[in-house]
Amino acid sequence: MRIKLTLEYDGTAYAGWQRQQNALAVQQVVEEALARLTGEAVGVTGASRTDAGVHALGQVAHFDTHSPIPPEKFAFALNTMLPADVRVSSSGPAAPDFHARFSARGKRYRYLMYDATHASALYRGLCAHSIYPLDVDRMDREAACMVGTHDFSAFAASGSTVKDTVRTITRCQVVRRQPFVVLTVEGNGFLYNMVRILAGTLMGVGSGKLAPGAVARALETGDRLALGPTAPPQGLTLMEVFYP
């Protein structure tokens, strides 16, 4: 039977979602907990290969099992075995053709920024620090240029080999929610590092280091150099994966 999991994790201690040779990934931790629970060698497929240090409040994953454990009980059983920085927030039955990654129709990400002279001690694992004050209105206007169907090749990390760089962004906005400046971006797909390059660009525009219009210019020219630096991973959280 196929089971769907919704997962929350603090990415600080992990080399991302995907299993790695020489570093601990969230996928490995979940697969090991499932193996202990079911006695099966279970492969777990995640919707998003979140990067090292990136968090998730709504990662989705699926796996197949012959275990008699009721689908909705996997969350409780797994949480007794998982470390405190990984939680299963819900579990349930999935259709046999449900695929966490390929069935997904879109995702929502959040990026938290913190603008103050000194970095935050308490929230340091959740946000990127800007020593310059951020102009949220200017950032939100810049963010709005992302919305629509565009070739986002300028937003692809260098070395990326993905061929189709056209994506549709349905929501991209910046608001101040003390003590953070919050970027919310939603779309049908994202290139590797796309949200972090966007966050770095918006922090550049918001602090006056980058001229407004950078996003539009980059979409026109495909030039990565028109954009700001890649913002650090700890500000990024995968919030939700959408399914039909």
Q: Which residues are known catalytic residues?
A: 51
Bridge partners (DSSP) listed for residue 242: 106
Which spans in the chain are helix H?
26-38, 74-79, 136-144, 194-206, 214-221
Per-residue binding string, a second copy, 174-213, x by CB under 8 A, is ----------------------------------------
Determine if 117 is a binding residue for a second copy (CB under 8 A).
yes
Please give the Cα distance from 163 to 161 (Å, whole number): 6
Determine if 105 is a binding residue for a second copy (CB under 8 A).
no
Q: Which is nearer to a second copy, 112 or 194 (CB)?
A: 112
Q: Which is nearer to a second copy, 40 or 76 (CB)?
A: 76
Please answer whether residues 56 and 237 qualify as being in contact, where contact means their C-beta atoms are separated by less than 8 angstroms: yes
Determine if 168 is a binding residue for a second copy (CB under 8 A).
no
What is the nearest approach in angstroms of a second copy to the Cβ of residue 227? 28
- How many residues touch a second copy under the rule CB under 8 A: the total is 26
Q: Which is nearer to a second copy, 181 or 205 (CB)?
A: 181
Determine if 119 is a binding residue for a second copy (CB under 8 A).
yes
Determine if 75 is a binding residue for a second copy (CB under 8 A).
yes
State phi, psi for 35 to the nearest 5 degrees. Answer: -60, -45
Please answer whether residues 27 and 35 qualify as being in contact, where contact means their C-beta atoms are separated by less than 8 angstroms: no
Please give the Cα distance from 154 to 132 (Å, whole number): 25
Classify the C-alpha dihedral 32-35-41-43 as positive or negative: negative
Q: Which is nearer to a second copy, 204 or 235 (CB)?
A: 235
Q: What residue type is 12 in one-letter code?
A: T
Using CB under 8 A, list all residues that contact a second copy: 8-10, 55-57, 75-76, 79, 84-90, 116-122, 124, 126, 237
